[in-house]
Amino acid sequence: MHYSHTGRKKVRRAKVSNAMNAKEFQQFYSRLNREQKEAVDSLDGPVMVVAGPGTGKTQVLILRTANIMLKGKAKPEEILALTFTDSGVSVMRERLISMLGQAAYHICISTFHSFCNEIIKENPDDFPQFFRKNLVDEISQVGIIEKVILNNNFKLLRPFGNNLMYAESLLNAFSDMKKEGVSPARLNEMVKQQEENFGIMEDLYNEKGPYKGKMKVKYRVLERDIEKNKEVVFAYKKYQEALLERGYDYDDIILCFIERLKSGNILLEKLQEKYRYIMADEHQDANQAQNMVIELLCSAEETPNIFVVGDEKQSIYRFQGANLANFLYFHTKFPMAKIITLKENYRSTQSILDAAGSVAKNNLRKLSGILTKEETGLFSQGIHPEKKVRVYAFKDTNLENYFVAKKIKKLIKSGVAPREISVLYRNNKDSVWIKDMLEKSGVACRVESDEDLLSGEEVRNLFRIMKAVSDFGNSENLSAILSIDFFGIPSLDAYKLIQPRQFLRHIKFNSIHDIMRSSKRMRDLGISKAIRISRAYGKLENLSRYVKDKSAPQALEAILRESGMLKHILLKDDYIERMARVGKLLQLSKRLSAENKYYSIGDFISHMELISAKNLKLRDVRLDIPKNAVRLMTAHRSKGLEFDYVFITGASYGHWGKRRDRKMLKLPLYENIGIGAQSNASYDAEDDERRLFYVALTRARKQVYISYPRLNYDGRELFPCQFITEISDESKEEGTSQIYEDSFARNYGVLFAEKKTPTVREEEKDFLRNIFQNRGLSPTALNNYISCPWKYFYNNLLQIPRAKTKHEMLGTAVHAALKDFFDVLRSKNEAQAGRDYLLECFEQALWKEPIGEHDFTESLEKGKESLARYYENYKDILYKNTVNEFGIKNILLADKVRITGKIDKIEILGNGEVNVVDYKTGKRKTRNALCGLTRNSTGNEKRQLVFYKILMDEMSQSAREKMGFKPIMVSGEIDFVEPEKRTGKLYKEKFVILEEEIRQLKDRILEVSDEILNFSFWERTCGDKGCEYCGMAEMMR
């Protein structure tokens, strides 16, 4: 992995503008079409933009935002932009930053969930049910609902033969209800109304025939469903009660936010005053709860400044609660809203648009004629030559995949960039055989679908090693790891270890452990790598002893490092993605350990096994690493993306279209949102599938290939999906399949070939630069870089999996305790903010850390002793007017150089002057050492204070408003929380930051940023021969 430094660009130290000027705006504005200009100019009142694929809606949103600011309608922090995916947030923010500069950082761009979650965190008094509570994961939710079912006397929800048959259906129903803003109390009202309506039905009974006088079957079924729904109401109530004792689930975030705002408190007024302009992108994907968020934020005015963008033809997330009724909701709520339709498409050829349009017009439920006077198609403004959609039918799936690989190879050979080709499929599992054929054909590809984290090679190997170490005496677990490649054990040696009697009949030892711990026995068996195996066994044995009294994260990190797995991952071409997967597993162990002080590596293994047993998945990490490879994804995942060439695969009847979602529960909720047997489910589902096919077609700029097999893997005959037949004859043509079938017959061995995918050098530089630009440079990151560039690379940039040490967890808990203590002291509650309260805060904070039982006891004693002395020493001179753990983000020092930081405490002195305090746990340092003036001292502490001075000076207007004034940092202070061992005294060191120090550090930040952005450090070391980070770097190089 060698990076050259040609084309090096120096970081420009330039003033970053807060927004584009009128001239720049006019340049972009002049390129818009008439409807786009109308949307950009419609600043006041409710506006809906119906924007089909490729019509430039993102550009409209961005220019409208600029227009709002240029005309003085609102400040950046008074604009709220909501969307539905994290990727949508990233795209919008990136485009806004490129156009608006630093001002874009102060616009609130967020998903609905993230927005609500941030408000909840900022206003704990309004959401006490979330205070110090954690998000309950899926497996814990399953445990809660199973207990609810088993501990209550349900007649219908607990069938005799399978007590837990309804567990999954109930969890899905609860999620659906929360997405529709329906609480247990509201569901109870709905079921009561359902029962009342049933009671007044006039044709309940048969009036003639053999069943005269008996209730009609359909009504007996409905009656039973109503009784079942009563039990669902009770189960929902009990589930929520049990859930709130543990924490909350993902869907609770928006539901609780809505309920709080509905209760008529000052929080709603505060949000309405703050956000004067609201925009919602991809509004067709909104569910009812998300609509309620918008409605509440806009409820102060009859004609609020709300701007929504969407397209009914791309509404494909009904399984997440989105449906056309929610899209229509905006029009119903704001009948005076201006409706603008964007018709000019700048992506696809007219042939592709006509093909997609001919499919979409078959939808039975559509809003054309309600939102707009007539249904209109899209008109291509593209420059690509017209090519009809090409449809291929093949004998079976192997042939179909062979065609896809051959056609893609031909396109790449003709000069098409692999990243401009996408293969779309209906289900995640469809990718397996497509990817297999592409790799065997030598085509670089990348799967971008939601995959299971536990299916990754490195995660599976790590899990196997965890089991072997945790239960070290288990021969089966030890045997299972012998084939892991980085142990370097030859296959024959592994066979001899597992089945020794097959190679040496008269042996007197019984287990694999007996053999691996004895060099003589291994020699007797003819083991070729006895020394290597002995060393590996020794490492595993040491790990088994180490993990016994350690927390799960500490044990997991030790296994990762000491087993050799970390070094092995760093040698892989895709080390960034593999490291991210392992990191996610470590994060999960941290969260679970924080909830239970006695949580061991064995508990974590049991948790993972339970996830597999319940058929649950841990979603794999998705990194946007630019990679010149063919992109494989589901049609759902392709939403918002575009490619030159698109392959739609597996387009057979029943695979695309004619899919039924048969719900076991028939709730009145589903009648309202068009799900389940009581609605017109057949055409609802078919419309959904048709819109999904429409989305797949409209991802292409130049050409679409559709293929399907005539036989499935079982030899059953298949037919083309109905959407193929709905494409107009003028827009499609039949491809010649025979030439590919003949070629496959000659190359049938490709099915059994080794994968020969060329190594794709991921464009790591661009990816890592993006991380640097998005994450920014903090004081800790800067100090790490100055200490060792590779320490920064691994810990701050790449963020290799790492568990906190005991001392770090102690420090985190001390900081959290002091924050809580001074927050209460500031609120004038001096009676509460005493010594006992400080110690209680510390114990609660330490309990939340993923720390083992023994380390917890030791750290608790040490921390309480230090904090008790700290309180007694300073109790009479404590500053009460403080701001604690104040984050300052998105300060642009230069082009692509963003600094960020969190200040422990700001003491407000008066007249706008403040003293910045940085707590330090650990051994006290002298003033000279803090400044880096003594031997072996780094000066990190003083540098950190200067960094804070820069952040305070450059603070944004919104941050100043959050503080309530424009602060002037007149001094910085290092506050040692732990007393000196010898004297028992506590020390503080205060500094006045000089302008020359500020100038020097700014220059240093720019210099470091330049080195990071240009990878100038890549061939360097820090000079310490024992540096583990430089050692890892040398191995990678």
Q: List, in sequence order, the alpha helices (H) in 441-529.
A: 457-470, 475-480, 491-498, 512-516, 519-524
Backbone φ and ψ for 628, nearest 5 degrees, come out as -80, 75
Token pair listed for 73: 């309608």
Are residues 812 and 891 both part of a single domain?
A: yes
The b-or-e profile of 912-926 (16+ CB within 10 A means b, else e) is: eebbbbbbbbeebbe
What's 790's domain CATH number? 3.90.320.10
What's 698's domain CATH number? 3.40.50.300
Owner of token pair 């310490």: 1024
Strand ranges in 255-406 using DSSP code E only, listed in sequence order:
277-280, 306-310, 338-342, 344-345, 379-380, 389-394
* Predicted pLDDT of residue 959: 80
Residue 701 CB partners (closer than 8 Å, separation 6+): 347, 348, 349, 382, 384, 642, 643, 644
Are residues 484 and 588 both part of a single domain?
A: yes
Q: Is residue 886 part of a domain?
A: yes
Q: Is residue 423 part of a domain?
A: yes
* Predicted pLDDT of residue 269: 93
Strand ranges in 940-1003 using DSSP code E only, listed in sequence order:
968-976, 988-991
DSSP SS3 for 208: coil
Q: List, in sequence order, the alpha helices (H) in 101-216.
A: 112-122, 138-150, 167-179, 184-199
Q: Is residue 726 part of a domain?
A: yes
Q: Is residue 587 part of a domain?
A: yes
Are residues 337 and 425 both part of a single domain?
A: no
Owner of token pair 């065997």: 440
* 900: nearest Cα among 911, 890, 912: 890
Count structural domains, the chain: 5
Domain extent, residue 939, equals 777-1014
What's 495's domain CATH number? 1.10.486.10
Token pair listed for 348: 């696809």
Are residues 179 and 69 both part of a single domain?
A: no
Sign (positive or negative) of CA dihedral 623, 629, 634, 637: positive
Residue 523 CB partners (closer than 8 Å, separation 6+): 530
Residue 192 CB partners (closer than 8 Å, separation 6+): none
Boundary (domain end) residue, out of 227, 248, 269: 248
Please check whether residue 71 is in contact with residue 952, taking contact to mean a CB–CB distance below 8 angstroms.
no
Q: Is residue 6 part of a domain?
A: no
Are residues 929 and 847 both part of a single domain?
A: yes
Query: Where is the binding site, in residues?
Result: 51-58
292 vs 290: CA distance, rounded Å: 5
* Predicted pLDDT of residue 678: 37
DSSP SS3 for 978: coil
Q: Is residue 368 part of a domain?
A: no
* Predicted pLDDT of residue 4: 41
Token pair listed for 383: 């420059």
Residue 153 CB partners (closer than 8 Å, separation 6+): none
Are residues 812 and 726 both part of a single domain?
A: no
Are residues 436 and 511 both part of a single domain?
A: no
Are residues 114 and 144 both part of a single domain?
A: no
For strands 968-976 and 988-991, give the pairing: antiparallel
* 251: nearest Cα among 317, 243, 237: 243
Token pair listed for 936: 């072996």
Q: Is residue 8 part of a domain?
A: no
* Predicted pLDDT of residue 320: 46
Q: What is the mean pLDDT of each run of 10 residues along the chain (1037 residues)?
A: 45 48 87 96 94 92 92 92 85 82 86 93 88 83 94 94 92 90 92 91 89 90 93 96 90 92 89 94 85 92 92 67 62 87 95 95 67 71 93 95 96 95 94 92 85 82 92 89 89 85 64 86 88 92 90 91 89 82 88 82 90 80 73 92 96 85 77 42 70 95 97 88 95 94 89 65 72 90 94 88 88 95 83 88 91 89 95 92 91 87 95 95 93 92 96 86 88 95 92 96 94 88 86 73
Are residues 556 and 598 both part of a single domain?
A: yes
Residue 741 CB partners (closer than 8 Å, separation 6+): 394, 395, 399
Q: Is residue 93 part of a domain?
A: yes
Q: Which H or E run includes 251? A: none
* Predicted pLDDT of residue 23: 84
For strands 344-345 and 379-380, give the pairing: parallel
Residue 393 backbone class (left: φ over 0; alpha: ψ -120 to 50; beta: rest): beta
626 vs 8: CA distance, rounded Å: 20
Are residues 925 and 872 both part of a single domain?
A: yes
* Predicted pLDDT of residue 1035: 67
Token pair listed for 472: 């070290």
pTM, rounded to two decimals: 0.79
Are residues 566 and 460 both part of a single domain?
A: yes
Neighbours of 344 (CB within 10 A): 17
Are residues 638 and 708 both part of a single domain?
A: yes
Backbone φ and ψ for 645, nearest 5 degrees, come out as -125, 135
Query: Where is the binding site for ATP, in residues?
Result: 51-58
1004 vs 1019: CA distance, rounded Å: 20
* Predicted pLDDT of residue 738: 94
Boundary (domain end) residue, out of 209, 227, 248: 248
Q: List, in sequence order, the alpha helices (H) in 212-287.
A: 217-246, 252-262, 266-274
Boundary (domain end) residue, out of 248, 276, 298: 248
